Structure 1
């Protein structure tokens, strides 16, 4: 809750509750002036947002009370009803701004300011999600890049298509998310890129998630000298806005279509965990599920999107805004949730990608039968002990290079996103007990250190992060060894 919002609620509530005493000491003109001044300050410095409507109602009651200044004591029943009504309004005035706050994103700690601009790809590849057979695949990319400037237009938090799709997902009026415009991103649109060459990271978001809902994580990475190209997987993110203003949202009909009748492919694997079977007994069934469940095809589609971006890097580096700024010889890929699975899939398929990271996603697809030939990081949230750990089977073979397996303790699946800031109530956000700032700090530190080691060739000992963060459990494997090693 913002400062003047809190002041407005406290002052007006106290006055309504103790107006008989206050009115004996102060004139109605003084009280009225104070009330008008407070709401003026709140609107000027914090601005209007719908979550404050109950607080504005308390202010209106206070203003009416100041003008009336009745000294007659109301009947007990009337007084009780007024008290109950005020308590309900007060509860709403505190809950709504607190549950959906104008939140503050953490400050990036790197030496660079973060700039951003939108890129658009329209491909010759057929779009399989839409019903129009003439549609080709197209998607947006949000480019995040290091800069030495900070005097540009601040990037609004989430584009309109993303907001509208998020509102649609939860059955909310789109206007309910207008308050997000008040969030300061400290990211600047279309400012000049720093006069250096930077490794390129391609990022893939979670399924039916806000593609651009990762400001805290991505700005931290970019501030340390990376260009991040964040893909918006059209029709499988909450929403996207194309350059012509067209907005496309998550396609629920297609989602139902591809998921229908597929539970039988994964149910036997899930049952092996519930029934307490040994790893060896589970493995064939989990192996089959990972390679046949419908999510495998989705991961492969998203991996194609990633490869399409890699295909454009030379062109972008030869002309235009990113000319001579992309280190196309040091390309990494990472993602969250299903985007993490897509990152792993693309690392297997494209020799131009040197390293990959999966943030809390299941590695569906072919990996269960083979191993990575390049460095790979799997960083997991703190799932319950009885969780169906499919990745313990997917990553059995690990990598012929370095393989990093970490758990971020006391976290939930959403702690890699901005959701814990946007919705601080953990029961709604599915975040863990960890402080959101600390979760992002550790996740970004591990991810940045991993790419520093394998794209920038820095002497980084990722094992040492365990002593730096007590809520991190990170193991480093070399080759296909199951024994962790110092790197």
Structure 2
């Protein structure tokens, strides 16, 4: 069975928890979102009686030369109270660490996401009875748990997911970067995802999404989203302390080169990349993947540090999101503004791959999953190779015949 799904634009009042499933699950012929939230899901065509149960999706195989290990850290910042649920106590982070590993070491393949996290992500769009949560949760990865790290020291890349979106949706990019010789730390920010399952089994839901939806107007909502981004900057400064400081929390911290740190994020996570760079000089380069800039970080400039803006076309072309035009004018180091034809908001995540393998079509983002993966991997890796390793990155010099979808804005 193939299900044809169609995106509809969401109002600012709709939380990004709704956006998290747009590319995977926005219903066909749905009414536009109202001021109170996203449009309701409509009935989907049932599978034929003869349709076989689909297999669990698999993330594309990474292209680098390294095997990949995966560890998980659960960290508590005792200097801060959680902004969204103060009664919960200190701020906590759940972090996946993908890293270059010795081949043939490690245990089982690393899990993609907990079934309950998948169920909550699907339920937000009324799809838990259409797409089995167990299949999404069982998406096959390429990292191995408890693998021995490869010899050497590697640059560190921090990844931040979209608002309302589990960190798992950036796993494909994290594995690709790890296979290319980066340590990659991807964080779930508490109460900012449809569901985050903690090691003790508790599941945190998106209190911050409720806070956004409760605001009376767009300006008030933007202020809350700016606070989300600023809070993530604090999260990543704390994470850097715990990964590269004198008392590291990760057993393989010696594999990180603290002098070479980059950050990328999707949606509001992309805004968080610029916020973190503005607040923390340890971050040397940043990437915003299709995220509006909700705070003034780009206005202040990043002191010559390189920055890549990678977005949809036309959604993030010149004149379509004023925050990108402003950021471009203010960025004062190496910079590139790229947009991708026929892409959607979630082109830069795992959602196209997972959705396509589960038989879900997205006519409003017709770029194939294979091209979505190739473009995201190629350009993000090229940017970090140039910025953190000093390697030539001809891919960033201008348009190429192999990537006709990628447009260079303001060359």
TM category (shorter chain) comes to 0.7 to 0.9
In structure 2, C-alpha distance between the alignment counterparts of 1:257 and 1:169, rounded to whole Å: 16
User: Do the aligned partners of 1:415 and 1:439 also contact (CA within 8 Å) in 2?
Assistant: yes
Tell me: CA distance 1:465–1:202, structure 2 relative to 1, closer, same or farther (3 Å): same
In structure 2, C-alpha distance between the alignment counterparts of 1:458 and 1:141, rounded to whole Å: 28
In structure 2, C-alpha distance between the alignment counterparts of 1:232 and 1:258, rounded to whole Å: 18
Greater RCO structure (CA 8 Å; 6+ sep): 2
Structure 1 residue 200: Cα displacement? 0.3
The alignment partner of 1:213 has SS state of helix
Aligned residue number for residue 334 of structure 2: 402
User: Do the aligned partners of 1:103 and 1:183 also contact (CA within 8 Å) in 2?
Assistant: yes
Tell me if 1:108 matches 2:108: no
Tell me if 1:155 matches 2:110: yes
Tell me: CA distance 1:192–1:426, structure 2 relative to 1, closer, same or farther (3 Å): same
Tell me if 1:390 matches 2:346: no
Which residue, out of 256, 263, 283, partners 2:210?
256
Tell me if 1:119 matches 2:51: no
Matches within 5 A, 1:64-213: 91=48, 93-94=50-51, 97=53, 102-124=56-78, 125-132=80-87, 135-151=89-105, 152-171=107-126, 172=128, 176-180=132-136, 182-213=138-169
Tell me if 1:423 matches 2:355: yes
Aligned residue number for residue 470 of structure 1: 404
For residues 443-470 of structure 1, give each alpha carbon's deviation from its aligned partner in whole angstroms, at most 9, with x where no partner exists. 1111111111110111223334621311
User: Do the aligned partners of 2:157 and 2:183 also contact (CA within 8 Å) in 1?
Assistant: yes
Structure 1 residue 222: Cα displacement? 1.3
Tell me if 1:375 matches 2:329: no
Aligned residue number for residue 322 of structure 1: 252
Structure 1 residue 340: Cα displacement? 0.6
Indicate the larger mover: 387-396 or 399-408: 387-396
Structure 1 residue 174: Cα displacement? 12
User: Do the aligned partners of 2:352 and 2:368 also contact (CA within 8 Å) in 1?
Assistant: no
The alignment partner of 1:201 has SS state of strand
For residues 36-92 of structure 1, give each alpha carbon's deviation from its aligned partner in whole angstroms, at most 9, with x where no partner exists. xxxxxxxxxxxxxxxxxxxxxxxxxxxxxxxxxxxxxxxxxxxxxxxxxxxx98725
User: Do the aligned partners of 1:413 and 1:430 also contact (CA within 8 Å) in 2?
Assistant: no
Matches within 5 A, 1:217-256: 217-251=173-207, 254-256=208-210
In structure 2, C-alpha distance between the alignment counterparts of 1:413 and 1:319, rounded to whole Å: 34
In structure 2, C-alpha distance between the alignment counterparts of 1:154 and 1:438, rounded to whole Å: 25
Aligned residue number for residue 371 of structure 2: 438
Aligned residue number for residue 354 of structure 1: 284
Tell me: CA distance 1:428–1:344, structure 2 relative to 1, closer, same or farther (3 Å): farther
Tell me: CA distance 1:237–1:320, structure 2 relative to 1, closer, same or farther (3 Å): closer
User: Do the aligned partners of 1:408 and 1:443 also contact (CA within 8 Å) in 2?
Assistant: no
User: Do the aligned partners of 1:237 and 1:249 also contact (CA within 8 Å) in 2?
Assistant: yes
The alignment partner of 1:346 has SS state of helix
Tell me: CA distance 1:108–1:402, structure 2 relative to 1, closer, same or farther (3 Å): same
Aligned residue number for residue 344 of structure 2: 412
| TM-score, normalised with respect to structure 2 | 0.79
User: Do the aligned partners of 1:407 and 1:474 also contact (CA within 8 Å) in 2?
Assistant: yes
In structure 1, C-alpha distance between the alignment counterparts of 2:117 and 2:218, rounded to whole Å: 33
- RMSD over aligned Cα, in angstroms? 2.9
Structure 1 residue 179: Cα displacement? 2.5
The alignment partner of 2:245 has SS state of helix
User: Do the aligned partners of 2:115 and 2:137 also contact (CA within 8 Å) in 1?
Assistant: no
The alignment partner of 2:177 has SS state of helix
Number of aligned positions between the proteins: 361
In structure 1, C-alpha distance between the alignment counterparts of 2:361 and 2:296, rounded to whole Å: 34
Matches within 5 A, 1:299-310: 299-310=229-240
Aligned residue number for residue 283 of structure 1: none
Unaligned runs of 5+ in 1: 2-87, 267-288, 476-482
Indicate the larger mover: 411-420 or 306-315: 306-315
Aligned residue number for residue 25 of structure 2: none
Unaligned runs of 5+ in 2: 2-44
Tell me: CA distance 1:392–1:427, structure 2 relative to 1, closer, same or farther (3 Å): farther
Indicate the larger mover: 165-174 or 414-423: 165-174
User: Do the aligned partners of 2:318 and 2:325 also contact (CA within 8 Å) in 1?
Assistant: no
For residues 309-364 of structure 1, give each alpha carbon's deviation from its aligned partner in whole angstroms, at most 9, with x where no partner exists. 11222237868521420100101111001111111111111111100110110111
For residues 342-399 of structure 1, give each alpha carbon's deviation from its aligned partner in whole angstroms, at most 9, with x where no partner exists. 1111111111110011011011111363322210000002235898413333314242
Structure 1 residue 264: Cα displacement? 4.6
Which residue, out of 386, 390, 394, partners 1:461?
394
In structure 2, C-alpha distance between the alignment counterparts of 1:368 and 1:154, rounded to whole Å: 39
The alignment partner of 2:335 has SS state of strand
In structure 2, C-alpha distance between the alignment counterparts of 1:381 and 1:403, rounded to whole Å: 17
